[in-house]
Amino acid sequence: MALETNSSVGLPVRDYLHSTFSAAHQAGDAHAMHAPVLVLNASYEPINVCAARRAIVLVLKGVAMAEEENGHYLHAARFALRVPSVIRLLEYRRIPHQTRALSRKNILLRDRNTCQYCATVLASSELTLDHVVPRSRGGASTWENLVTCCHPCNRHKGNQYPSEARMKLMREPRSFNLHTSRHIMRMMGHSDAKWRKYLFY
Ligand SMILES: [Zn+2]
């Protein structure tokens, strides 16, 4: 990441961030702060996606460095900052086989907003979650028992097992692990040429 002009370098990070972000908001650049940034481990292994704002904080704190820039500038009072597109952590972090937080958002993300019974792709607001084994029959709220479902399929299934409702799951629901996140990073990477070399290997 390059600081484009003169007098900014000596600013403490906190003041720097404050002036940067408030100026960015004034300038109407706020949307640029939400652009997705690919996060690489020190080994160049892709590990995450975060918002540009967080990526800039990591770079300014000295935790990460910018590998690619997205062509946008963040304009502040006395300088402009290049917004990163890819950052890399300076120290290697061991990534556990973590499972992400179980949430509606992450289930929809895992299932790519696709009803797992009829394969319709819908906006998040038009989708619900279905317990494969109904809650009323002891089904748990887990990654393996929750799937993305459209409202018509959800009504049709009611309190039945899929087999009883003559419905079939597109695929076995699994927890959202690192493999799944890589898959999603790859899909996002299709739209960003600068991500590709880190994701398609
Ligand atoms: Zn459906």
Phi, psi of 29, deg, nearest 5: -90, 10
Q: Is the pLDDT of residue 10 over 60?
A: no
- Alpha carbon 55 to chain centroid distance? 13
Residue 33 CA to ligand 1 center (angstroms) comes to 35
CA of 143 to the centre of ligand 1 (A): 19
Q: Ligand 1: distance of its center to the CA of 190 in Å? A: 27
Q: How far apart are CA 146 and CA 12, in angstroms?
A: 47
Kindly report, residue by residue over 98-117, the tens digit of the pLDDT: 556 677 887 888 888 999 99
What's the 122 CA to ligand 1 centre distance in angstroms? 10
CA 179 to chain CA centroid, nearest Å: 14
What is the value of pTM for the model shown? 0.50
- CA 151 to centroid of ligand 1, rounded, Å: 7
**CA 182 – ligand 1 centroid, Å:** 26
Q: Ligand 1: distance of its center to the CA of 117 in Å?
A: 5
Residues less than 5 Å from ion ligand 1, measured at CB: 115, 117-118, 150, 153
- Asked which of 21-30, 70-79, 184-193 is least confident by mean pLDDT, the reply is 21-30
Least confident of 8-22, 133-147, 158-172, 183-197: 8-22
The token pair at 24 is 């960015």
CB atoms within 10 A of CB 79: 21
**CA–CA separation, 27 vs 45, rounded Å?**
35
Going from the Cα of 150 to the center of ligand 1, the distance in angstroms, rounded, reads 4
More confident residue, 193 or 92: 92
CA dihedral 69, 74, 75, 77 (to 10 degrees): -110
The residue among 108, 146, 106 whose CA lies nearest residue 127 is: 108
Nearest Cα neighbor of 128 from 110, 113, 145, 143 is 113
- Cβ atoms 148, 154 nearer than 8 A: no
Residue among 27, 46, 121 nearest 86 (CA): 46
Distance 178 CA to ligand 1 centre (A): 27
